A and B are shown apart, each in its own frame.
Chain A
Amino acid sequence: MKQDIVIPDVGESVQEALLAEWFVQPGERVTKGTVLFVLETDKVTLEVAAEADGVVEVLVEAGETVTVGTVVGRIDTQAAPGPEREEATEVSPADRRGEKEPEEEGPVPSSERPAPAHIPEVPREGAPSPPLETEGLPSPAAAEPTPEAFPSVARLAAEKGVDLHRVVGTGPYGRVTRGDLLLFLESQGEEAAAKEAAASGAVSTPLGAPAQAPREEASSEQAPETIRKPMSRIRKRIAERLVHAKQSMAMLTTFNEVDMGRVMDFRRRFKDLFRERYEVSLGIMSFFVKACVAALQEIPEVNARIDGDHIVYNNHVHMGVAIGAERGLVVPVIRYADRLDFAGIEQAIVDYVKKVRENRLQLSDLEGGTFTISNGGVYGSLLSTPIVNPPQSAILGLHKIEDRPVALDGQVTIRPMMYVALSYDHRIIDGREAVTFLKHVKECVEDPERLLVGV
């Protein structure tokens, strides 16, 4: 097939141009992108490249004036190879910038020397040593081994966890320059992003699994003492948010304990019926959500937030529920939890767990919470102080249920107990409110009938 080589639109309302020079010979085989000829107008000079691989046929000689759209040649895309000429242009010149050949053999420094991969010694800072006119010659300073990488490059490589032997060096003696390392990191950035995307497709692996990958990798080599991995975007965001929370509010935590006996009894009694009717199991979370909603309605400051010089009270409850995910904890928000019944709450939680697993969570799912419940108990935590998720003002931490001896009506009995912790922003919530809130939650969970009658 033959493709026409056409004078392109030169722009700037230019109609005519001089075909100044052909860079290829008639019959020459070119590849797509090879510059074919140059056009000159009084305004611009434009190089025109081949749009396909093939053999060039020249119809208009250099020196002619051509108009936009003129066919000046053709490219025969199926022709047998003509006289090989373009190879010559690829030959790298006797190179005054240094040896080119080693680049093709892969990492250069390793082929030249046994390769000290180590980080150079700590740079000797400070003022230069005074001239030692009386000391013996020659200089002792020269005797120490010098690293083969530029110190700044070695430092950056160590910081980024890059083995310099993997980087193609274009500096003198094939050394890796800072630019070479940056190019390598930029190319790794793309790979890492691709890997992350691939990994997120299979989130069904149990929690903690991702830690195994680097560990295996490490043992197969010479087991480095540390492994450096770039923070994922989600991790970075978590880190930022947590530090921000700690720094921007007067946070403290109050504790209480809950006798879970009644709730567990409740569940035992109704779980089959519940599941039959709502196709979702009755968990303890719905009791806590319900209890919190009731307590929030009683102590509105806990459901409020500070906005500049104002306090914004929320008349609704958007309940954040922390769910552990492979790449970090996420807190999707159950909208209008105050309007949902037990089944509605349980269903919302199940939906979110599924979304997290399938990596379908959207940013909007995480926004707008007015209060949060975090259940460290699923990992076995006995007691902890959660961190408030700004701009919210409080967070309830649940913990594991454990049979403990308690004094009840003058008797020591064994009860399934749970510690609960309420971290809150003291700027907006007074200690009395916080304690009252937590006590209210405790009472509602210990006596679920209270939820029924609203006391």
Chain B
Amino acid sequence: MTEENRYDLVVIGSGPGGYVACVRAAQLGLRVACVERYARLGGVCLNVGCIPSKALLDSSEHYATARHRLAEHGVRVDAVELDLAAMMARKDRVVGELTENVRKLLERHKVQILAGTARMAGPGKVRVESADAPPVELQARAVILATGSEPVQVPSMPFDGRFIVSSTQALGFERVPERLGIVGGGYIGLELGSVWNRVGSQVTVIEMLPRVASLLDAQVSRTLERLLRRQGFQFLLESRVEEAVVEGDAVRVCIKTPNGEEERGFDRLLVAVGRRPLTRGLGLEALGVETDPKSGHIRVDVRYQTTVPGVYAIGDLVAGPMLAHKASAEAIACVEGIAGLESEVNYDAVPSIIYTWPEVASVGKTEEELKELQVPYCIGTYPFAGAGRARCMGETDGFVKVLSHAGSGRVLGVHIIGPRASDMIAEAVLAVECGATAQDLGRIMHGHPTFSEALQEAARVATACAIYGRGA
């Protein structure tokens, strides 16, 4: 064992969990190695997730705006044309720049980047294998597993990489599919559906549950469904794909709907029914790292330590929403814990965002969750149609919904569907984190005219309902 292969910390995976863990550990003075099996760093988020999808969403939104919205603003353009190849090239460029930035960031922090596939070879031992170098065995005081997740395969709709695809391929269709079927009405299906719907696909979303994006507050989810329908989405809710068969250049899909069986043909079928922790091949069983047989999550304690001392897991591998920022937050908490600091993640204040148009963003409890928990609550909603800025922009769809505790007034949840919801939600996250009341949100000054004024107004509505000082 050479000295150079000894590390304080080895991180497996370089996504938003892994690379953040590496940087934080380096800042705390640890000697760190990061193992990544792909040539490009950044994991799913940077390569085939958040970033490329947002690049395409922004590009396709420009296209849709140019086609449908500019005239309203008095801007006339002739013959708007789509250059899909250029759009894809731009996306790749954005991804390339950002992944390169991750590499520079790690290098600047003197994190050793090792290309190859990692496997736990024993307690404190990580074996790295790659095609073009002999295997290496690393010694580590601590190992953080940050390998993320992968799309769930459905036996009746096996991915073929061409016609029946996962989100990864749906980010890179070479032609606009005329008819795009999407199995799963979650955020991945709705975002990618939006991209292709805007550039001309007829998008049909098949969802087993009665609602799209079913984790959202029901009022928001209903509004989103309605607005997407207006954009041309078709939804088959409470429906299930019985069979999907590739026939020639199309996929024939048998769908069981509440109104009986239906057969549809699609040029492409995107299966986006969920993601599963990527724990295969890491040698976890042999080491004794326990996973939840149902969800596939690795069991961890509050310091993200698995059932094996010295082995930690974060991000999509562990329970909680599969979100990049949640993984990054856990990375920091985990590393700081390893370094002997007290650190933790506040799971009450995890924002989640769907980048449709309008955007959807939320933090905290939904109205349905509060009902189930039997918490007395106040609702304040305010439509963007009432916000001057939204009128100026011509984006008046949607609303802000603030849920606060009926007794204390504390903000318990904020749900936004509307323009720039993704950035507006940060204020709500801060409110939840700091235990602010709806009155606080309603009283602080918001610039005028801004979209955030809708949040302020919704908070004021919620304040009016709260009974302050009851019984105390």
Taking CB atoms, residues of chain A closer than 8 Å to B410 are 182, 186
Bound CA span A125–B337, Å: 10
Given A45-B399, A173-B299, A197-B471, CB of A23 within 8 Å of CB of B222? yes
Contact A128 B340 (CB under 8 A): yes
Near A by CB (< 8 A), chain B positions 391-440 give: 399, 405, 407-408, 410, 412, 432, 435
Contact A137 B141 (CB under 8 A): yes
Taking CB atoms, residues of chain B closer than 8 Å to A147 are 301-302
Bound CA span A265–B392, Å: 92
- Say if the beta carbon of A363 comes within 8 Å of chain B: no
Q: Mark A11-54, 1 if CB is under 8 A from B, else 0.
A: 00000000011010000000000010010000111010000000
Picked from A141, A173, A187, the residue with its CB within 8 Å of the CB of B338 is A141
Taking CB atoms, residues of chain B closer than 8 Å to A9 are none
Picked from A45, A125, A138, A168, the residue with its CB within 8 Å of the CB of B309 is A138
Report A108 CB to chain B, min CB distance, Å. 12
Contact B375 A187 (CB under 8 A): yes
Near B by CB (< 8 A), chain A positions 155-180 give: 168, 170-173, 175, 177-180
Contact A172 B318 (CB under 8 A): yes
- Say if the beta carbon of B303 comes within 8 Å of chain A: yes
Bound CA span A380–B248, Å: 102
- Say if the beta carbon of A89 comes within 8 Å of chain B: yes
- Say if the beta carbon of A129 comes within 8 Å of chain B: yes
Bound CA span A38–B344, Å: 42
Contact B347 A171 (CB under 8 A): yes
Near A by CB (< 8 A), chain B positions 319-351 give: 319-322, 336, 338-342, 344, 346-349
Taking CB atoms, residues of chain B closer than 8 Å to A187 are 375
Contact A193 B405 (CB under 8 A): no
Contact A131 B383 (CB under 8 A): no
Given A93-B209, A146-B303, CB of A190 within 8 Å of CB of B347? no
Bound CA span A130–B435, Å: 36
Report A36 CB to chain B, min CB distance, Å. 12
Given A124-B341, A152-B344, CB of A142 within 8 Å of CB of B30? no
Contact A93 B215 (CB under 8 A): yes
- Say if the beta carbon of A114 comes within 8 Å of chain B: no
- Say if the beta carbon of A139 comes within 8 Å of chain B: yes
Instruction: Among B141, B222, B383, find the residue whose CB has the most chain A CB atoms closer than 10 A.
Output: B141
Contact A177 B348 (CB under 8 A): yes
Bound CA span A96–B399, Å: 25
Bound CA span A170–B373, Å: 10
- Say if the beta carbon of A148 comes within 8 Å of chain B: yes
Bound CA span A94–B240, Å: 14
Contact B407 A186 (CB under 8 A): yes
23 A-B contact pairs sorted by A residue (CB < 8 Å): A23-B222, A47-B219, A88-B210, A93-B214, A93-B215, A96-B215, A96-B321, A96-B322, A98-B321, A128-B29, A128-B30, A129-B340, A130-B29, A131-B30, A131-B31, A132-B141, A133-B6, A141-B338, A150-B302, A152-B344, A178-B346, A186-B410, A189-B471
Residue of B nearest to A128 (CB): B339
Taking CB atoms, residues of chain B closer than 8 Å to A193 are 470-472
Taking CB atoms, residues of chain A closer than 8 Å to B338 are 139, 141
- Say if the beta carbon of B142 comes within 8 Å of chain A: yes
The secondary-structure label for the interface of chain B is loop
- Say if the beta carbon of A59 comes within 8 Å of chain B: no
Contact A38 B222 (CB under 8 A): yes
Residue of A nearest to B318 (CB): A172
Taking CB atoms, residues of chain A closer than 8 Å to B309 are 138-139, 142-143
Which residue numbers of B lie inside 8 Å of A, CB to CB?
Answer: 3, 6, 8, 28-31, 123-124, 139-142, 186, 209-211, 214-215, 218-219, 222-223, 226, 238, 274-275, 294-295, 299-303, 305, 309-310, 318-322, 336, 338-342, 344, 346-349, 364-365, 369, 373, 375, 383, 385, 399, 405, 407-408, 410, 412, 432, 435, 470-472
- Say if the beta carbon of A391 comes within 8 Å of chain B: no
Near B by CB (< 8 A), chain A positions 115-131 give: 123-126, 128-131
Given A47-B222, A88-B238, A172-B318, CB of A151 within 8 Å of CB of B342? yes
Taking CB atoms, residues of chain A closer than 8 Å to B471 are 189-190, 193-194, 197
Taking CB atoms, residues of chain A closer than 8 Å to B140 are 137-138
Contact B342 A128 (CB under 8 A): no
Contact B339 A129 (CB under 8 A): yes
4 pairs of A and B residues whose beta carbons are closest in the complex: A179-B348, A128-B339, A193-B471, A138-B124
- Say if the beta carbon of A99 comes within 8 Å of chain B: yes
Residue of B nearest to A168 (CB): B373
Taking CB atoms, residues of chain B closer than 8 Å to A269 are none
Picked from A123, A173, A177, the residue with its CB within 8 Å of the CB of B319 is A173
Bound CA span A124–B140, Å: 22
Bound CA span A149–B226, Å: 41
Contact A131 B8 (CB under 8 A): yes
Residue of B nearest to A104 (CB): B372
Contact B219 A142 (CB under 8 A): no
Picked from B274, B300, B383, the residue with its CB within 8 Å of the CB of A94 is B274
Contact A97 B321 (CB under 8 A): yes
Near B by CB (< 8 A), chain A positions 258-301 give: none
- Say if the beta carbon of A378 comes within 8 Å of chain B: no
Contact A149 B302 (CB under 8 A): yes
Contact A139 B319 (CB under 8 A): no
Report B419 CB to chain A, min CB distance, Å. 15
Bound CA span A306–B35, Å: 75
Instruction: Among A137, A151, A193, find the residue whose CB has the most chain B CB atoms closer than 10 A.
Output: A137
Contact A138 B123 (CB under 8 A): yes
Near B by CB (< 8 A), chain A positions 208-233 give: 233
Bound CA span A182–B407, Å: 12
Instruction: Among A95, A138, A187, find the residue whose CB has the most chain B CB atoms closer than 10 A.
Output: A138
Residue of A nearest to B371 (CB): A33
